[in-house]
Amino acid sequence: MATEAHGEETGGLEFHPLDQFIVKPLFGEAGDPVAWYTITNVTLWMALAVIAIVALFVFGSRGRALVPTRTQSIGEILYGFTYKMVEDVAGKDAVKFFPYIMTLFMFILFANYLGLLPMSFATTSHIAVTAVLALGVFLTVTIVGFVKNGAGFLGLFWVSSAPLALRPILAIIELISYFVRPVSHSIRLGGNIMAGHAVMKVFAGFAAVAAISPFAVLSITAIYGLEMLVAGVQAYVFAILTCVYLKDALHPSH
């Protein structure tokens, strides 16, 4: 649909920085409707992320070698890194959520890096995807908080160290910030990835002009390097914020 919308703009620079995010069916015509079961490019790149994760963690550690191979070593480093993060940030009793956080972290990490491949599709740049991830975290944290602490979980919003007169106001602010969490959590990830890819596309559009194309190519290279960093950091930030929220749920006292 979007390609049709851009169809009549002709001449001069053409910027379609958001065309890369279009969800389209892998098989069949470009304009076919996308039903919930349709196999689309989203399916393809998520499947590739799954395959990469399986290759790294299952086939990489197949040998169970005491002296690890290179692939197994990478898997062990990621495991140790995430485990230490969960233990340090969320506390020792949060270790049973470690597979959940590991799943989120690995999916986002691999989706981000696979999305950086040229001609690929960045699944984590879509609000729908990141919103589901963030809402999942939000619901998990809220349910865990109420199951673990009962009504005591509401103490999270009642800042007992503040003066009594201020507490209702602070409670409202805390409540708002609590419900803004999934919004910022999802838009931070999706927005970062989308912004990086869109900027690269904009510079790619500049590369069509011969006079500034060397500058544009150099810029794309630099931004690509930055995006490599951002892809890792955003996955890390998503995981560590999940840990922070989980710590709030397990130990709600301020």
Whose Cβ is closer to other proteins: residue 42's or residue 231's? 42
**What one-character-per-residue DSSP string does 8-71 give?**
T--SS----TTGGG---BSSS-TT----TT--BHHHHHHHHHHHHHHIIIIITTTT--SS--HH
For the chain, what's the residue count? 254
Taking CA atoms, 227 is separated from 86, 114, 217, 223, 244, in Å, by: 25, 12, 15, 6, 25
Residue 250 beta carbon to other proteins: minimum distance, rounded to whole angstroms:
17
Residue 132 beta carbon to other proteins: minimum distance, rounded to whole angstroms:
5
Q: 68 near 134, Cβ under 8 Å?
A: no
Whose Cβ is closer to other proteins: residue 168's or residue 222's? 222
126: left (phi over 0), alpha (psi -120 to 50) or beta: beta
Residue 36 beta carbon to other proteins: minimum distance, rounded to whole angstroms:
4
Token digits for 236? 């890390």
Dihedrals phi, psi of 25, to nearest 5 degrees: -65, 145
Residue 160 beta carbon to other proteins: minimum distance, rounded to whole angstroms:
24
Residue 50 beta carbon to other proteins: minimum distance, rounded to whole angstroms:
5
Residue 78 beta carbon to other proteins: minimum distance, rounded to whole angstroms:
9
CA angle at 235 for the pair 40 and 233, rounded to the nearest 5°: 130
Whose Cβ is closer to other proteins: residue 27's or residue 36's? 36
Whose Cβ is closer to other proteins: residue 152's or residue 176's? 176
Report helix, strand and coil shares of the chain as percent, to nearest 5.
75, 0, 25
Strand intervals (E) in the chain? none
End-to-end Cα separation, the chain, in angstroms:
51
Residue 161 beta carbon to other proteins: minimum distance, rounded to whole angstroms:
20
